[in-house]
Structure 1
């Protein structure tokens, strides 16, 4: 079955090292908490708010060992009044047998505001 795993994080500054660092941190958490293998991933789609343009957040995926051949793409998030600033979002499409309810969506830093309803007992996603 194909499922989507969501994630989001924020950065303090529009700097390459911080964008790659926070996106890597988010992806590592998604991989760990969902027990993902690169071969089970169909695609990874990253979006970034318009105030982040110093690098592609998708480059963070290349920091994960074994993920070289996973298709990845970046796009710009739509500009919504009063939307969360300096935000990177991700949608990971995976082949899995687990149910929707068992998926661990990951929200770090200010992005925890986006989906507080998905926070699970014992989760430490507020880094």
Structure 2
């Protein structure tokens, strides 16, 4: 078994608590489903947001999901590069898995598909 990183990103249209929390849950649920993982397999989740998303902590949404209460979570601001994608939430999920790096499915939703078109499914 190895520790693997699973990346995810999603954009929201507005800097409001509801949309930020909903988008976070949507992205994490897609990561879990695509990779066949359960909270017990998760080492930790690192969450970043762009500076224009300050209405809430996205980790609040994860903490409220059943089974995720004990998973270590941390939020931070994304590096503010000029011209970069706005209103974006990113996840780095560290998971214990038997899957190879090539078998991991990274999830990019909404406007965040532009970040990694090579990993975005059509």
Q: TM-score of the superposition, structure 2-length normalised?
A: 0.96
Deviation at 1:119, TM superposition (A): 2.4
The equivalent residue for 1:14 is: 15
Equivalence for 2:35: 34
Superposed counterparts of 1:1-127, under 5 Å: 1-120=2-121
- SS across alignment from 1:84: coil
The CA deviation at 1:64 is: 2.2
Q: Segments of 4+ in structure 1 off by > 6 A?
A: none
Measured in 1, the distance between the counterparts of 2:61 and 2:93 equals: 13
Q: Deviations over 1:27-66 (max 9, x none)?
A: 0101111111111100000000000000001112124211
- Secondary structure of residue in 1 paired with 2:66: coil
More divergent stretch after superposition (36-45 vs 59-68): 59-68
Count of aligned positions: 121
Give 5+ residue unaligned stretches, structure 1. Answer: none
1:6-42 residue CA offsets vs partner (Å, 9 max, x unmatched) = 0000000000000000011000101111111111100
**In 1: Cα distance, 2:52 partner to 2:120 partner:** 27
Mapped partners of 1:19, 1:32: distance in 2: 20
What RMSD in Å do the two structures reach over aligned CA positions? 0.9
